[in-house]
Amino acid sequence: MLLLAFVIECRNDRKRRHRKMQSTTGNPMYALRDVPGKGKGLVAIEKISKGTRILSEEPVVTVPCNEQASEQLQISICQQVDALSKHQRRAFLSMHNIHAYGNAAEQYLGIIRTNALPIETNESEGRGIFFEACRINHACDNNAQKNWNTKIKRHTVQALRDIYKGEEITIYYLGVHKNREARNKALQAKFGFICLCCLCSLPLEQSQESDRRLDEIYRLDGLIGRGGVEGIVSSPLRSLGYVDQQVRLYNKQAPDDAGLPRAFLDAAQIAIANGDLARGRIFAERAVSGWSTALGGDSIEVIEHGTLARDPSKHMLYGISMKWRTTVDEAPRGLEPSDFEDWLWKREKPKRPGQLANLRSHMAFPGFMDLPGKNTVDLDFYESSDMVTYRPQRHWCFLGEIVDFGMLLRLEMTIKDVDGKEIPLYFYTDGRGSELAPAQVQKGYTVAILYAQRHAFVYGDPGIRHEDPQMIKIFPISLHELLVLNDQVQKFSVELDGIRLCHGCGRKAASLKRCSKCSSFWYCDRACQGAGWNEKGHKANCKLLKDPDLQGLFVLKWDEFDNHIRFPLHAAEDSEV
């Protein structure tokens, strides 16, 4: 009775406490129209270009977020509703309500629960009723983006793409874009309807493909943030690769998706945390451009990250690692768009016919932090047809230089990987490491381990637990020298489009001959071979290059997995380096 009496008093005193609604009523871009199967909705009455602010509106009724339906809350709502003008109140009461009610206060609360949009008031979260924005219907393939602009304290709606005359303006009611079943389950529970938009009405095969993309975007999002700052510093290439995959999926699913700017910001932070200001600036610019379209140039996201795009060195993560150090203006110029994207995302280009495997490839020769975990299924390395049994989807080999070694219960080594990280290597073979001849185990030599995995030991730092003697090979050369030799092999052992490059004089020709001893480097004649042998270090490298296991590292098709390989490698027997 107390509540009903208060409602009557509020109505009698409505004019005294009238508050005028501020919105974009009368905006010529759209009109409230009947929409088949949806009731009322906003429809464009002229073309609305991508990035246009469709409306900017203040709330007429507000409630705290997640507050229980207390008498105090109902009183507050009644005060606000009865403060509206007659026309405004009629508009409020005409809004859809999926909740049962027994009195006016419950009716008002039901309307708010059905229609309210997120807001922030006095630095706390809440929900608000907007006479125009709340009329916009949902679509999973929405063409507009809703947002509470904390800078101007208004709810804004921006066109994500061109919206044509007669087309309904739609927004996305849920938080995260998930697969069709999950979306409609949430929509049914929260709003009482099933979506029938174009995305939700795709033929079964196309719908399943869309769902796979959305599920993968969601999975990658978890992987990107899983390791925190430590993850993006210790394994930056893998983290950037996750974002690259995510962006490609977004572009296939919905090129104007409002989630893209967040992905570009993740990429910017990965680059900046590793000292790469050139990529950090470009990724930040792309994030700002996306937010400018989806949220507007006056949004807090554009304002804050616009500063980052201008000077990425101001970011709090800058300098944690300088592994990828670049200046802000070091981006290459004059590249084809596809080549520029390959540079930007640090993509490894597929091998061309006649091209050899590159020992600097982080895909085939990952550093320790990029290896898969011992007891986890890393989908970067493994695949499954039934989600029960997994097998490698490609080959990989870990390279590390011996820094120290010793023998107690078993052979133990400290090795340094391609990223300069020192890790322990413990031998759990039947011979506990005695299978290796003492002459092989020397400081400064390079260990190669096929299908290596990160192992978390009960005591001590994470490292590698080695169990199969046929999975390891030690080369009598330092890791640095091996990578330098690799660079020479990439240059002087290949034949591209019939053209060869002489190791002795640098001449390009089709008639060059291989070194007669190692069958690796190209030479014009004996004089050039002599120059290469005496002046360019081939005398020392020739013996190494005759090793079929080293040749195998170069000629093996690392991205084609048929079965596990072992040392000695046989990949070079039917191939010429």
Digit-coded pLDDT (tens) for 325-356: 999 999 999 999 999 999 999 987 766 666 78
As a whole number of angstroms, the distance between CA 223 and CA 180 comes to 22
Read off the tokens for 24: 């974009």
| Structural domain harbouring 225 | 204-342
> Residue 230 above 90 pLDDT?
no
pLDDT of 273-306, one tens digit each?
999 999 999 999 999 999 999 999 999 999 999 9
Structural domains in the chain (count): 4
Domain assignment present for residue 351? The answer is: no
Residue 12 belongs to some domain of the structure: no
Say yes or no: 37 and 185 in one domain: yes
- Same domain as 490, residue 472: no
- Same domain, yes or no, for 53 and 174? yes
Please tell me whether residues 434 and 520 are part of one structural domain.
Answer: no
Relative orientation angle of helices 236-253 and 204-226, to the nearest 10 degrees: 150
Predicted pLDDT of residue 461: 92
- Among residues 191, 216, 236, the one where a domain terminates is 191
Assess if residue 141 is contained within a domain.
Answer: yes
Using CA atoms, how far apart are residues 572 and 168, in angstroms rounded to an integer?
63
Asked if residue 309 and residue 179 are part of one domain, the reply reads: no
More confident residue, 192 or 169: 169
Asked, as a colleague might, if the bond just before 568 is cis with ω within 30 of 0, I would say yes
- The CATH number of the domain holding residue 131 is 2.170.270.10
Residue 307 located in a structural domain: yes
Both 132 and 105 in one domain: the answer is yes
Q: Does some domain include residue 357?
A: no
170 and 232 inside one domain: no
Q: For the chain, give the number of residues.
A: 577
Mean pLDDT along residues 64-80: 82
- The mean pLDDT of the chain is 89
Q: Are 238 and 258 in contact (CB under 8 A)?
A: no
CATH of the domain at 386: 2.40.50.140
Residues 466, 495, single domain; the answer is: no
**Is the pLDDT confidence value at 504 over 90?**
yes
Domain termination site, one of 430, 448, 479: 479
- DSSP β-bridge partners for residue 522: 502, 514
Within a domain: residue 198?
A: no
Q: Please tell me whether residues 184 and 91 are part of one structural domain.
A: yes
State how beta strands 422-427 and 464-466 pair: parallel
Specify whether 44 is located in the same domain as 74.
Answer: yes
Residues 465 and 486 occupy one common structural domain: no
> What is the H or E stretch that residue 236 is in?
helix 236-253
Do 336 and 380 fall into the same domain?
A: no
Asked, for residue 7, whether it belongs to a domain, the answer is no
Flag whether 88 is in a domain: yes
The residue among 62 and 16 whose pLDDT is bigger is 62
30: CB partners within 8 A, 6+ apart = 42, 43, 44, 45, 48, 54, 55, 169
Contact by Cβ (8 Å): 432, 409? yes
